[in-house]
Amino acid sequence: MSDGTPADLFFDAAITLLHRVREEEAEAVTAAATLLADTVAAGGRLFAFGAGHSSLPAQDVVYRAGGLALMNLLAVPGVVGVDVTPATLGSALERVDGLASAVLATSPLRAGDALVVISLSGRNALPVEMALTARTLGVKVIGVTSVAYAAETTSRHTSGTFLKDHCDVVLDSKIAVGDAELTLDTIPAPFAPASTVVTSALMQAVMATTAATLADRGIEPPLLRSGNVDGGHDWNRRIMEQYGDRIFYRH
């Protein structure tokens, strides 16, 4: 590790990655936002899914002040974050064939909706099957992943494919295999993951572009306001009443 405190070096690494995705994924961000805007305009619903720590960027765009009210979390019990004991159970569930199909069969997703599937490696059965099955149902899929994993690891899905192979749009987070940005002679393993920072930024970039795209078409984007500002609750109540049939986290 070169000169600078670990904090400085982590910030530098994260900023470098953010610059890369800003420059290299601009077209993909626009394409993803266009897909979501098309879905909203056509009366479709929006969903986001992620397992383990990949669930954090998905949760970050759901019921969020300044965010699109129509983003719903597609939650799979046991794999959302580290809310199960032991935490390793969540990782094991990501590798179970058939789980995604069972979840989708009982979910509100239908043809004409859009689903964002977030998976850093994109190699486990759950995200691959989630994207593959959703598309067979007529759902448009946006994948957010590190494409490097497809070149440097093997798939854990029976098809031998990765998340990126089953998406209408792919956003590449540019995260290196292993998700650790720093090394130090006195520490035996690489450390300081940046995937959550970068993936959350990518998601918010897509949300911002979606809102602007809708506005450009003369459609008021269904945005939420903070409940901690005057009038925020009244604003949100109006939005939720107007789009109640497309918002599932309120029930």
- Please give the structure tokens belonging to residue 233: 């609750």
Q: Is the pLDDT of residue 245 over 70?
A: yes
What pLDDT sits at residue 251?
60
**Which domains, and CATH codes, for the chain?**
6-246 (3.40.50.10490)
Average of per-residue pLDDT values in the chain: 94
Going by C-alpha positions, the residue among 162, 89, 92 that lies closest to residue 121 is 162
- 198-231 per-position pLDDT tens digit: 999 999 999 999 999 999 999 999 999 999 999 9
Cβ of 109: how many Cβ atoms within 10 Å? 23
Q: Tell how far CA 98 is from the center of its chain.
A: 21
pLDDT, tens digit, 9 for 90 and up, residues 84-129 = 788 888 888 888 888 999 999 999 999 999 999 999 999 999 999 9
Report how far residue 189's alpha carbon sits from residue 237's, in angstroms, rounded to the nearest whole number.
49
β-bridge mates for residue 50, sequence order: 118
At residue 1, does pLDDT exceed 70?
A: no
Q: Nearest to residue 156, comparing CAs of 117, 132, 123?
A: 123
Q: List pLDDT tens digits, range 32-56.
A: 999 999 999 999 999 999 998 999 9
CA-closest candidate to residue 87, choices 115, 55, 122, 52: 52
Q: 8 pLDDT band (50/70/90 cuts)?
A: very high
* Per-residue pLDDT reduced to its tens digit, 127-148: 999 999 999 999 999 999 999 9
